[in-house]
């Protein structure tokens, strides 16, 4: 991969990511649609039909609904903190082979809350969709693949850009505190995506690529959430 200028807070990546790139490069357009309010009464009924008796998971989903209600209209930084804390506390980290008996599965927030467990991409997705529902535009949010240098493994976080060229804030399940990317020397960015497209690390927020060539796990998550009763549009 060509090496470009360093971006604020992120080093230029040296990690090979061809497989991941194919997974998420093909995204849908239409970012800034306004989402309708989510009807959690209907969502709970649909979840029971799709997944069976909810048991303790009902309380976790209801707590999520209450969080979204209480944080609506709050300042963005407060919303980030509340959503990050909620999912880090509600979900226990486990890998997909243990949760889903699959090597890689992208769960919806409802699926993760039903299990009470998630791996890194499930945390990032749940935080992304929650903040979108609270009114934060997709252009400020990116689901970001990184290499966690201490663990020496692939990892996913959610990043928040107050402006296109800002040092992004990192919402992570590895640590509870939200920190600027410039303070996360333990993370090496690989690429990021949202409903707008794919971003490669670089100057001024990175280089955007929005080509759509085929379906991806991202679209699968959107379709599953729509079937669960969530109005998520194109993300």
What is the model's pTM? 0.85
State the pLDDT confidence band at 30, using cuts at 50, 70 and 90.
very low
State both tokens at 218. Answer: 């991202």
Name beta bridge partners: 192.
144, 199
Query: What CA–CA distance (Å, rounded) separates 104 from 227?
Result: 21
Helix (H, G, I), strand (E, B) or coil at 157: strand
Residue 106 has a pLDDT of 96
Residue 29 has a pLDDT of 37
Which is more confident, 206 or 62?
62
Q: 93 phi and psi, to 5 degrees?
A: -75, 125
What percentage of the chain has pLDDT greater than the value 70? 83
The DSSP call for residue 65 is: H
DSSP count for the chain of H helices, then E strands: 8, 9
The two beta strands, 92-93 and 141-148, are unpaired
State the pLDDT confidence band at 10, using cuts at 50, 70 and 90.
low
State the pLDDT confidence band at 32, using cuts at 50, 70 and 90.
very low
Q: Is the pLDDT of residue 47 over 70?
A: yes
CB 45 within 8 A of CB 53: no
Average pLDDT score over residue span 169-188 = 96
Q: Is the pLDDT of residue 6 over 70?
A: no
pLDDT per residue as tens digits for the range 53-76: 999 999 999 999 999 999 999 999
Average pLDDT score over residue span 139-166 = 95
Q: Is the pLDDT of residue 213 over 90?
A: no
Q: Is the pLDDT of residue 7 over 50?
A: no
Residue 16 has a pLDDT of 44
Alpha-carbon distances of 159 from 31, 80, 180, 189, rounded to whole Å: 16, 10, 9, 11
CATH topology of domain 18-228: C8orf32 fold (3.10.620)
Q: Is the pLDDT of residue 202 over 90?
A: no
pLDDT per residue as tens digits for the range 72-111: 999 999 999 999 999 999 999 999 999 999 999 999 999 9
Query: 26-40, 55-69, 160-174 — which is least confidently predicted?
Result: 26-40
């Amino acid at each position: 991969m060509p090496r470009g200028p360093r971006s604020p807070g992120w080093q230029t990546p040296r990690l090979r990511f061809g497989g991941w790139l194919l997974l998420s490069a093909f995204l849908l357009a239409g970012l800034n649609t306004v989402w309708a309010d989510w009807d959690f009464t209907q969502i709970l009924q649909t979840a029971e039909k799709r997944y069976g008796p909810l048991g303790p998971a009902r309380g976790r989903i209801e707590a999520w609904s209450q969080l979204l209600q209480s944080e609506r209209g709050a300042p963005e930084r407060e919303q980030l903190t509340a959503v990050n804390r909620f999912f880090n506390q509600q979900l226990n980290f486990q890998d997909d082979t243990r949760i889903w008996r699959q090597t890689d599965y992208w769960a919806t927030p409802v699926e993760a809350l039903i299990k009470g467990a998630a791996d890194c991409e499930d945390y990032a997705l749940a935080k992304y969709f929650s903040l979108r529902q609270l009114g934060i535009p997709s252009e400020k949010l990116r689901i970001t693949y990184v290499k966690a240098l201490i663990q020496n493994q692939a990892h996913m976080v959610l990043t928040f850009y107050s402006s296109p060229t800002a040092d992004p804030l990192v919402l992570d399940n590895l640590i509870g505190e939200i920190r600027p990317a410039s303070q996360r020397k333990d993370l090496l960015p690989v690429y990021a995506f949202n409903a707008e497209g794919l971003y490669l690390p670089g100057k001024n927020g990175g280089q955007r690529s929005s080509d759509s060539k085929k379906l991806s796990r991202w679209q699968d998550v959107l379709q599953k959430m729509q079937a669960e009763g969530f109005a998520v549009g194109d993300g």
